[in-house]
Chains A and B, each alone.
Chain A
Amino acid sequence: MDEYKGKTLSWRLSDGIVELALDRPPANEIGLAMLEDLERFVSSLPTLESKASALILYSEQKAGFSAGADLRELYEQAQKMDPSSAAKGIREFLERIHAVLNRMDTSPLTTIAAVHGVCFGGGFELALVCDLIVADKMARFCFPELRLGLIPGFGGIPRLKRDIGNAVVRDLLLTGRSVNATKALSVGLVSQVAAEGEALRVARSTAAQTTKFDRATAATAKRFIKPLPAEELRREIDIFCDLFTRPAVMEGLRKFVENAGPHPYLP
């Protein structure tokens, strides 16, 4: 399929560039519906890859690229199950999202995330599968998971560790603080910072540049420089699942989901 519009995203192939637009209000929370759409996208990738050079991933939502995993859905699903079934359910979800993200990570296309606004948790992890991140100057990146008693579960730590220094990973992970685009650029997390509202245009310009190159050479170079940290990704799933069913995590999720005040519950 060269073109598709699903419940949470759409994609379109034009002039050798695939544009995948996340579009689930309010902030592209990644739950089952988005996972299913992403799986559909990945199943179409072989066809798209035969016709394109680059993939741009961006958001149609004003709030930002993505606020991360749909914690409300996660909590509500877990509440319906006994701990053992909840653990099984979360493992299945993680296996599926990892399969999708690993496939996108290793696509022979040159992949570019055009990021604006919030790029938190699972949304940050989705951006990290891309070869390049172009950030709007108002973008913010964050791994808030430890604040809820968890670790990032969509492959964020292994991918970030692959790309930048361990000290920066520890800073983001262990403090749970968010950083702006300028900081992200300074540590090598993003490759370009765009003016407000210009990230997609800059990403398109960058993608157009990549269409000039021999595809086989670009794909070979990518395979050489960007190996999948497969073993660590597997370990991450195991660690996440071990942590997930602890009462402290459920309590943290409950407070986060039930909080109705102006400040999100993030200790």
Chain B
Amino acid sequence: MKTIEQTTDEILNLAATHFKFPRAELQPGDDFYKKLGIDSLQALELLTRLENHFGVELPDYEVQGVSDFHTLAMRIQARL
């Protein structure tokens, strides 16, 4: 079982790689819409990448309104 810190770290790594953003500048509490400058379609893409990476399903309604990495990690953690 991964810890919440490990899950968060993997999300940050994945977001940094995919959106070509310096990993060191991403923090768990960051609003990923603002920090990465992404729109709803790109957020959906991130959701799919996270589902594929962690091998979980994340229903849209569970991540609706979630905009920071840490909360996203908690939603994923609940499905691992």
B45 within 8 A of A: yes
In the bound complex, do residue B41 and residue A63 qualify as a contact, i.e. CB atoms below 8 Å apart?
yes
Q: Of B44, B49, B51, B57, which contacts A118 at CB under 8 A?
A: B44
Known: A183-B57, A262-B33. A140 touches B52 (CB 8 A): no
> Does B60 lie at the interface of the complex (its beta carbon under 8 Å from any beta carbon of A)?
yes
The answer to the question of B17 belonging to the interface, with a C-beta cut-off of 8 Å to chain A, is no
Q: Which residues of A contact B (CB under 8 A)?
A: 27, 63-64, 117-118, 137-138, 140, 142, 175-180, 182-183, 262-264, 266
Within 8 A of A (CB), among B44-77: 44-45, 48-49, 51-52, 57, 59-61, 64-65
Given known A-B contacts A180-B51, A182-B52, A262-B33, A175 and B44 have beta carbons under 8 A apart: no
Which of B33, B44, B61, B64 is the one whose CB lies under 8 Å from A140?
B44
Is B59 a contact partner of A175 (Cβ separation < 8 A)? Answer: yes
Q: A179 CB to closest chain B CB, in angstroms?
A: 7
Q: Are B59 and A177 in contact (CB under 8 A)?
A: yes
| CB-defined contacts of B49 to chain A, threshold 8 Å | 138
Could you show 18 A-B contacts with beta carbons less than 8 Å apart?
A: A63-B41, A64-B41, A118-B41, A118-B44, A138-B48, A138-B52, A175-B59, A176-B61, A177-B60, A177-B61, A180-B48, A180-B51, A180-B57, A262-B39, A263-B40, A263-B65, A264-B40, A266-B64
Which residues of chain B have C-beta atoms less than 8 A from A266's C-beta?
60, 64
Q: Which residues of A contact B45 (CB under 8 A)?
A: 117, 138
- Interfacial chain B residues near A177, Cβ < 8 Å: 59-61
Q: Which residues of B contact A118 (CB under 8 A)?
A: 41, 44
Residue of B whose beta carbon sits closest to that of A67:
B41
Q: How far is the CB of B20 from chain A (nearest CB, A)?
A: 16
**B27 CB → nearest A CB, Å:** 19
- Chain A residues with Cβ below 8 Å from B33 are 262
Q: In whole angstroms, how far apart are the Cα atoms of A263 and B51 in the complex?
A: 19
Q: Contact check, A140 vs B48: say whether CB atoms are below 8 A apart.
A: yes
Which residues of the partner chain B approach A178 to less than 8 Å between Cβ atoms? 44, 60
Nearest CB to that of A177 among chain B residues?
A: B59
CB distance from B42 to the nearest CB of A (A): 9
| B48 contacts across to A, CB distance below 8 A | 138, 140, 180
Given the known inter-chain contacts A138-B48, A140-B48, A262-B33, please indicate yes or no for A179 contacting B40, CB distance below 8 A.
no
Closest residue of chain B to A139 (Cβ to Cβ) is B48
Instruction: Return chain B residues, CB-CB under 8 Å to A176.
Output: 60-61
B20-42 interface (Cβ within 8 A of A): 33, 38-41
Q: Cα distance A117–B44 when bound, in Å?
A: 9
* In the complex, chain B residues whose CB is within 8 Å of the CB of A180: 48, 51-52, 57
- The answer for the CA separation of A137 and B49 in the assembled complex, in Å, is 9
B40: A residues at CB distance < 8 A:
262-264
Beta-carbon contact of B60 and A137 below 8 Å: no
A63, A142, A182, A262 pick with most chain B CB within 10 angstroms: A262
